[in-house]
Structure formats: structure tokens, C-alpha cells
């Protein structure tokens, strides 16, 4: 039994759910999102919210059960609250700024890195050393944050680079005389 899959998904007020076979469409205050569930699970709407159940007791159905429930939960959270990732930039002269719809990063290269922001994602730079990425789709928000971090990942000696806000950088001691 999947511990995650057993839990019902609460649908807050102001959110409408449309189930058409294996297709699910959810509309909320932030927008509308949809997904297609795998054939091994079924989705039903009840008094306590949405419930995902496996069609049979195969290994694949049990494996998909918890994952599909989490993906549906992410849709509900996305259309109500949205998702946010914060990045910090450490290093002398390293900074970020918005340039129209693109993010311009000065990361110690001979040129500035310009990162195109996909549709549905908002990027803010409250300080030159902070980047805030937000949007409805959890996967896209995480992917954009990972792409920006990949330009200059944090290094262990001085801690310079782009890191997640809650990331811990294991520091190493430099060379000895």
C-alpha cells in the first residue's frame, strides 16, 4: 500500500476540477493546468476531495499510484499558490538583473550570460545577488532554477557561484604551505 497514494487531495474553494476519463483539468485563481493520468490508476472526486486508486495490484500500478497522486497535488497547489525557488549569487562582481523578459547574469565570464525565461515563469531580482523564480508548474520552476544554477555552480573552496537559498555548500580547506 502506498502511504502517499492513500491520502485524499483536498480541493480548496475557488478551484474547479474537470475529470474526463484519464484527462484532468484544474482551474484556479492563478490559471488553468491539465494532465493525463497513466492507465494504471483511476481518479475520482468525492466528499473529502480527489482520490487516486490503482486499477489492479500489479507492480507498475502500485508504483504509479503515489506518483500520480503527487502530480495531481502539484496541479492543485500550482493553480492556488504557485511554486517559488530562490537562488543566491556569491562572488565578487557576480550579479543578476532583469533585461526585458530575459535574465542577465554577470558570473565572472568574459561576457554576460543571458538566460531566456520560458512562458508561465516569472523571475524577479529583489537584490543584485538574489533571484526569485515563481510559476504554476513545479517542474518548470525547478528546471529553470537548475539551468541558472548550472551556469556557475558553487565551488567548495570559496563558495563562489549560484546556489539555492537553502543549499549547504560543504567547504574544503585550501592548500597548505
CATH number, domain containing residue 108 = 3.90.930.12
Residue 19 shares a structural domain with residue 58? yes
- pLDDT digit string (tens) for 50-92? 999 999 989 999 889 999 999 999 999 999 999 999 999 999 9
Whether the per-residue pLDDT at 124 is higher than 90: the answer is yes
Tell me whether residue 64 is in a domain. yes
Cell of 169: 555548500
Cell of 124: 524577479
Number of structural domains found in the chain = 2
The answer to whether 41 and 65 are in contact (CB under 8 A) is: yes
For the chain, first and last CA: distance in Å? 58
- Report pTM: 0.88
Beta bridge partners of 86: 132
Whether the per-residue pLDDT at 175 is higher than 90: the answer is no
Residue 42 shares a structural domain with residue 92? no
How large is the average pLDDT for residues 12-20?
90
Tell me whether residue 172 is in a domain. no
Among residues 80, 105, 124, the one where a domain terminates is 80
Q: At what angle do helices 59-80 and 138-151 cross, to 10 degrees?
A: 80
Residue 74 shares a structural domain with residue 93? no
The answer to whether 121 and 142 are in contact (CB under 8 A) is: no
Among residues 38, 62, 80, the one where a domain terminates is 80
Amino acid at each position: 500500500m502506498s502511504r502517499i497514494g492513500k491520502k485524499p487531495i483536498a480541493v480548496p474553494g475557488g478551484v474547479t476540477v474537470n475529470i474526463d476519463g484519464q484527462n484532468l483539468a484544474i482551474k484556479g485563481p492563478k490559471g488553468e493546468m491539465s494532465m493525463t493520468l497513466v492507465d494504471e490508476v483511476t481518479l475520482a472526486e468525492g466528499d473529502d476531495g480527489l482520490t487516486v486508486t490503482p486499477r489492479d495490484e500489479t507492480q507498475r500500478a502500485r508504483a504509479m499510484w503515489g506518483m500520480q497522486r503527487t502530480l495531481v497535488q502539484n496541479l492543485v497547489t500550482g493553480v492556488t499558490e504557485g511554486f517559488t525557488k530562490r537562488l543566491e549569487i556569491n562572488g565578487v562582481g557576480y550579479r543578476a538583473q532583469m533585461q526585458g523578459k530575459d535574465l542577465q547574469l554577470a558570473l565572472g565570464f568574459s561576457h554576460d550570460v543571458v538566460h531566456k525565461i520560458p512562458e508561465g515563469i516569472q523571475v524577479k531580482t529583489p537584490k543584485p545577488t538574489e533571484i526569485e523564480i515563481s510559476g504554476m508548474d513545479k517542474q518548470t520552476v525547478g528546471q529553470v532554477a537548475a539551468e541558472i544554477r548550472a551556469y556557475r555552480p558553487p565551488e567548495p573552496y570559496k563558495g563562489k557561484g549560484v546556489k539555492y537559498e537553502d543549499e549547504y555548500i560543504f567547504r574544503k580547506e585550501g592548500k597548505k604551505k
